[in-house]
Amino acid sequence: MEMDSVVIKLCWSVLLIVSCSSILLKLIKKWLLKPNRIRSMLSKQGVGGPKPSLFFGNVKDIQKIESLLNPLSSPSSSSGPVSHQDWVLSIFPHLQKWTRDYGGIYMFSTGSQQHLFVNRPELIKELKMHKSLDLGTPGYLSKALEPMLGSGIIKANGQQWAHQRRLIAPEFFPHKVKGMIGLMEGCTMSMISKWQSLLTESKGGVLDLLIDQDLRSLSADIISRACFGSSYAQGKSIFLKLRAMQEVMSKPNLLFGLPNIRWLPTQSNREIRRLKKEVEDLILKVVKDRQEESLKDGKNSKDLLQMILESADADNELHQYIHKTDRFIVDNCKNIYFAGYETTALSASWTLMLLALHPEWQERVRAEAIEMLGDCTDQPHCSLDVDTINQLKMVLELS
């Protein structure tokens, strides 16, 4: 018995040593060997950058530079308003400083992650034109965005990305997008009418508007109608829940100094899982209702959801597995929201801000629009079409 006990203890000791060694080797590979290999390869190609520390990379350098150079965080910023020309410095002061120190191409790190900064348009264009499937979304970003994007086209890499692109890309060709111009115009005119009503009701003709919030609502409205058509109300509900999930995921949440791991039972993780399930259940319900409606009257809507359904139905690889078809539909509905909602709203907000800062351009754009479309002030719409939009040279230049 004593001999058996000694053998068991010895086995457990060996197992513990092997497990600890394996974990240690993985940590050494992740935090030391792999970063050093990447930096060595780039260094041989003449790419420099700030020297990182072992566990934090250049995080402490970034924090130090932000405290010294960020005009919004420095004590001197309280003496007066920050110039609109300081926006780059206020958001990415470390990138500005390192660009001056190391040129348009350099590398830096955040923890074990190595980043290559490229500020040369010709090289960026070449990278964008590169057709290798080895290039794609970094793994650490893919995992972080999984609740929001699933395995949709934005997050997918390699053959999975190529397969989804082949199915989805045709639905966004120019001749199909043209048919959505009236929808976009109608939603926008509704927002403008709302602004005009608020202005009329205001005292002294002066009104404060939260433009960014209204533009987010407009963007969600357009995407909801374009994606879900007659199921617009359900689409709006889906996007509100996706927006709530995005806000929860964007909150900094550190646990014991380490990034919050998704499987831990924290409050934010439970909230993310709840919202993810509700969003997916709602999308599948809309899909089921659409399919039942199609069987009853034999008519199909021509919105993005219907196009995704038809693409999934026609694909033999997906058609063999119901769960794959459902996953493809759910994930890419979420991807359409993520790709078109925030980006479009922020771009429009930024454009309006620049026009407000440069009134001379405001007048030029307004004069061009009136010349091409007439004065739409008292009209429900301006009868926009693709040919007319293509003639708005200044508007296209701004976009």
Q: What CATH number should be reported for the domain holding residue 192? A: 1.10.630.10
The predicted model gives 5-19 an average pLDDT of: 79
pLDDT at 256 > cutoff 60: no
Indicate whether 9 belongs to any domain: no
pLDDT at 381 > cutoff 70: no
Indicate whether 242 belongs to any domain: yes
Residues in the chain: 399
The predicted model gives 97-116 an average pLDDT of: 92
Cβ of 265: how many Cβ atoms within 10 Å?
A: 7
Same domain, 101 and 176: no
Strand partners, 117: 106
Contact between residue 109 and residue 57 where contact means Cβ atoms under 8 Å apart: yes
The residue among 311, 350, 41, 340 whose CA lies nearest residue 163 is 311
Axis-axis angle for helices 267-297, 304-314 (nearest 10):
80
Its sign, for the CA torsion 153, 154, 160, 166, is positive
Share of the chain above pLDDT 90, in %: 15
Domain containing residue 212: 167-346
pLDDT at 58 > cutoff 90: yes
Rounded to whole angstroms, how far apart are CA atoms 332 and 305?
Answer: 9
Cβ of 43: how many Cβ atoms within 10 Å?
A: 13
Same domain, 109 and 178: no
Same domain, 174 and 278: yes
Rounded to whole angstroms, how far apart are CA atoms 329 and 331?
Answer: 6
Binned at pLDDT 50, 70 and 90, residue 257 comes out as very low
pLDDT, residue 263, reads 67
Query: Of 22-31, 64-73, 92-101, which has the strongest mean pLDDT?
Result: 92-101
The residue among 117, 126, 75 whose CA lies nearest residue 94 is 117
The residue among 200, 184, 175, 41 whose CA lies nearest residue 114 is 41
pLDDT at 276 > cutoff 60: yes
Give the alpha-carbon dihedral of 124, 125, 129, 134, to 10 degrees: 0
Tokens of 297: 């009257």
pLDDT, residue 394, reads 82
Contact between residue 284 and residue 308 where contact means Cβ atoms under 8 Å apart: no
Same domain, 305 and 206: yes
Q: Is 108 helix (H, G, I), strand (E, B) or coil?
A: strand
Indicate whether 148 belongs to any domain: no
pLDDT: is 287 or 9 the higher one? 287
Give the chain's radius of gyration (CA, Å): 27
Rounded to whole angstroms, how far apart are CA atoms 144 and 156?
Answer: 13
Indicate whether 128 belongs to any domain: no
Binned at pLDDT 50, 70 and 90, residue 360 comes out as very high
Indicate whether 353 belongs to any domain: no
pLDDT, residue 127, reads 82
Same domain, 331 and 213: yes
Same domain, 91 and 210: no
Cβ of 223: how many Cβ atoms within 10 Å?
A: 21
The H or E element containing residue 254 is strand 254-255
Cβ of 161: how many Cβ atoms within 10 Å?
A: 19
Same domain, 113 and 254: no
Tokens of 217: 């609502």
- Give the total number of structural domains in the chain: 3
Same domain, 339 and 381: no
Rounded to whole angstroms, how far apart are CA atoms 283 and 304?
Answer: 13
Rounded to whole angstroms, how far apart are CA atoms 87 and 100?
Answer: 17
Same domain, 174 and 111: no
The predicted model gives 101-105 an average pLDDT of: 93
Indicate whether 210 belongs to any domain: yes
pLDDT, residue 224, reads 83
Same domain, 226 and 172: yes
pLDDT, residue 51, reads 93
Same domain, 393 and 296: no
For 105, list phi and psi in degrees, rounded to 5. -135, 125
Pairing of strands 258-259, 254-255: antiparallel
The predicted model gives 65-72 an average pLDDT of: 73
Its sign, for the CA torsion 295, 301, 302, 308, is negative
The residue among 308, 297, 294 whose CA lies nearest residue 228 is 308
Binned at pLDDT 50, 70 and 90, residue 79 comes out as very low
Share of the chain above pLDDT 70, in %: 83
Tokens of 278: 């509700």
State how far the alpha carbon of 40 is from the alpha carbons of 31, 47, 252, 286, 304, in Å. 14, 9, 32, 52, 46
Least confident of 2-6, 114-118, 368-372: 2-6
Indicate whether 384 belongs to any domain: yes
Tokens of 161: 């990305």
Same domain, 236 and 384: no
Query: Of 4-8, 69-73, 349-353, 371-375, which has the strongest mean pLDDT?
Result: 349-353
The amino acid sitting at 165 is: R
Indicate whether 178 belongs to any domain: yes
pLDDT, residue 39, reads 92
